[in-house]
Amino acid sequence: MTLRVAVVDDEPVARRRMRRMLRREPELDVVAEAGDGWAAIEAIVTHRPDLVFLDVQMPELDGFDVVREIGDRVPAVVFVTAFDQYALRAFEVHAIDYLLKPFTPERLHQSVEQVRLRMSTGRRESTVDPRLAALLDEVQERGRYLQRVPVRAGARIVLLDTSDVDWIQAADNYVLFHSAGREYLMRETLVQLEQELDPREFVRIHRSALVRLDRIAEMLPSVHGDFRVTLKNGAQLTLSRHYRERVERILRRPL
């Protein structure tokens, strides 16, 4: 069976490279390519490919937006992405195949074979893959929260990824972001910021401290029900007994 393929990437060089690699694949026909989200939707609807290699990071409409716009009749999708810690984790959790740029012809071949296997072991669904639907739900939920924040670094304004933040400290009407040994200031209260950050990633451990959960290395019981919290970078913080329940709720375990 010949596999009909569409290639979607906003970089012409990347599309040409993908086409060259796909020429090596037997029984595969590239029927369409597109350089942006809207063109991708038109190409997929018009040419009805069996498989789309879909770039995640594109202007205006990204790869996730393209899938949402197409709806139930989306073909098999292999996402293509540059390094993005969240995207890779999400794809792995939902068992969605992806290619991490730059990828090799061997890795591309593996993706093609996985799609062929899925198609040979089950009928082609007319509705969206439930794994893909679950991924889109997670992406949409995450979109409610801040991913980048404008912070001051001397006279400059820096866009800081929240995934790079170790912990955040209250400083009156400001907050101080601690990231990779550096400090960045932003005019906002810790209470306001807490509402804008993903509660699955950041937890309040003290009235003056928010910490990124995956930065915690260990917690040692201290006095009066408090804990001494050590981060992976060696920073020492305090988990107040008043915020202990929040941490236990996220960990789903008592301390």
Q: What CATH number has the domain bearing residue 132?
A: 3.40.50.2300
What is the reported pLDDT for 126?
45
Domain edge (last residue) among 125, 142, 159: 142
Q: Could you report the per-residue pLDDT of 77-110, keeping only the tens digit for each?
A: 888 887 665 566 656 655 577 888 889 999 999 8
SS3 101: coil
Tally of domains within the chain: 2
Domain edge (last residue) among 115, 142, 169: 142
Q: Could you report the per-residue pLDDT of 121-146, keeping only the tens digit for each?
A: 764 444 456 776 676 666 666 656 78
CA distances from 232 to 27, 178, 197, 205, 212 (A): 50, 13, 21, 16, 11
Is 158 found in the same domain as 70?
no
Q: Could you report the per-residue pLDDT of 141-166, keeping only the tens digit for each?
A: 665 678 889 998 888 898 999 999 99
Is 129 found in the same domain as 18?
yes
- Please state, for a pLDDT cut of 70, what percent of the chain lies above it: 86
Is residue 192 over pLDDT 50?
yes
What is the reported pLDDT for 137?
65
What is the reported pLDDT for 123?
47
Domain edge (last residue) among 142, 165, 200: 142
